[in-house]
């Protein structure tokens, strides 16, 4: 098993844009702020990073700059999953060369009907075999309409270069099922903040959470509270964060997450088209939710 410590909280960071280009100055600004919050590292080019809207060149430049901008105490995980095995391997290698510490690899999914256990096994094994850096599986049925089976995750957890999974289903029964069947040092990462407390109490190593972009301190506090056995405090924070997390994921998506970042002192900005920016009505609802959760002061 590759040596990498994934215990803690990671935000899957949005990609900031200025007009048609990536806004690297805003990226620097955000990373500087996140670096003071207790986060374990950053995930670049995940679903919240609009990775499907970035060109091959942009991805390489983005990871290079993100690595440069991130302080040494933090990890940089690169989202490198493409639809084809070939392109995923190439991108993973290029990200490794540019300093990424690990790669988050989403399940290929366009031909979902053919992405059976055998195809997935072959895919992740080929990628892990040829990657210079450790691989984290990325299971996000909400976007991919594919769900990795327990059997498959258990088998893949035995690969020396596959070190964990980000599971974004929010299904703690599935997390428990994974926990029962994977290799002991395999890292289960909760992929949505609503299930953070539940996942951590079942033994998950940490979380990769959209919410950690806008409320990193609270996500870290939940993590620390569970580690310290302070379940009641963790529960209270978890309950308070559920509506915020709902807003910045399921209800308002990446545009909502970016709007919330703008409200909370980060740079969010507009998503790339065809994702539409949040409407004024949506923004006002997001503001209400942030205020109610005491992330924003009453105005």
Our finding on whether 147 is near a second copy (CB under 8 A) is no
Q: Do residues 259 and 281 lie in contact, with contact meaning Cβ atoms separated by under 8 Å? A: no
Q: Which of 59, 166, 258, 283 is an active site residue?
A: 166
**Shortest distance (Å) from residue 73 CB to a second copy:** 30
Strands (E), the chain: 8-10, 12-13, 17-18, 21-22, 41-44, 75-79, 102-106, 135-139, 162-167, 187-190, 206-208
**Shortest distance (Å) from residue 15 CB to a second copy:** 12
For residues 52 and 4, give the distance between their C-alpha atoms in angstroms, rounded to a whole number: 27
Classify each residue of 6-45 as buried b or exposed e, where b means 16 or more C-beta atoms within 10 Å of its C-beta: bebbbbbbbbbbeeeebbbebbbbbbeebbeeebbbbbbb
283 is catalytic: no
Candidate list 72, 113, 184, 280; residue touching a second copy; CB under 8 A: 113
DSSP assignment letter at 238: H
Interaction pattern, residues 20-49, with a second copy; x per rule: CB under 8 A = x--------------------------x--
CB-wise, 37 or 125, nearer to a second copy? 125
Site for a second copy in 72-111 (CB under 8 A): 83-87, 108, 110-111
Our finding on whether 18 is near a second copy (CB under 8 A) is no
For residues 67 and 69, give the distance between their C-alpha atoms in angstroms, rounded to a whole number: 5
Chain contacts with a second copy (rule: CB under 8 A): 20, 47, 52-53, 55-56, 83-87, 108, 110-115, 118-120, 122-123, 126, 142-143, 145, 170-173, 176-177, 179-180, 192, 194-195, 197-198, 201-203, 229, 231, 235, 238-239, 242-243, 246, 250, 253-255, 272-276
Active site residues: 166
């Amino acid at each position: 098993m590759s040596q990498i410590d994934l215990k803690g909280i990671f935000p899957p960071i949005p990609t900031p844009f200025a007009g048609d280009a990536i806004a690297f100055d805003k990226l620097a600004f955000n990373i500087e702020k996140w670096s003071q919050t207790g986060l374990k590292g950053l995930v670049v080019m995940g679903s919240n990073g609009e990775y499907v809207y970035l060109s091959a060149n942009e991805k390489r430049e983005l990871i290079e700059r993100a690595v440069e901008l991130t302080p040494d105490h933090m990890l940089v995980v690169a989202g490198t999953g493409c639809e084809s095995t070939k392109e995923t391997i190439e991108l993973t290698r290029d990200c490794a060369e540019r300093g990424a510490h690990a790669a988050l690899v989403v399940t290929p999914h366009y031909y979902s009907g053919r992405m059976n256990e055998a195809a997935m096994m072959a895919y992740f094994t080929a990628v892990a075999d040829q990657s210079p850096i450790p691989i984290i599986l990325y299971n996000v049925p909400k976007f991919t309409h594919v769900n990795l089976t327990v059997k498959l995750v258990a088998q893949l957890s035995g690969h020396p270069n596959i070190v964990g999974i980000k599971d974004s289903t929010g299904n703690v029964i599935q997390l428990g099922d994974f926990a029962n069947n994977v290799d002991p040092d395999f890292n289960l990462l909760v992929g949505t903040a609503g299930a953070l407390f539940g996942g951590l109490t079942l033994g998950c190593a940490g979380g990769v959470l959209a919410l950690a972009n806008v409320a990193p301190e609270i996500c870290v506090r939940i993590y620390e509270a569970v580690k310290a056995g302070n379940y009641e405090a963790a529960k209270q924070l978890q309950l308070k964060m559920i509506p915020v997390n709902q807003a910045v994921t399921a209800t308002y998506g990446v545009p909502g997450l970016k709007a919330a970042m703008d409200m909370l002192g980060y740079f969010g900005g507009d998503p790339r088209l065809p994702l539409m920016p949040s409407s004024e009505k949506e923004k006002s609802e997001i503001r209400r939710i942030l205020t109610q959760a005491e992330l924003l002061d009453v105005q």
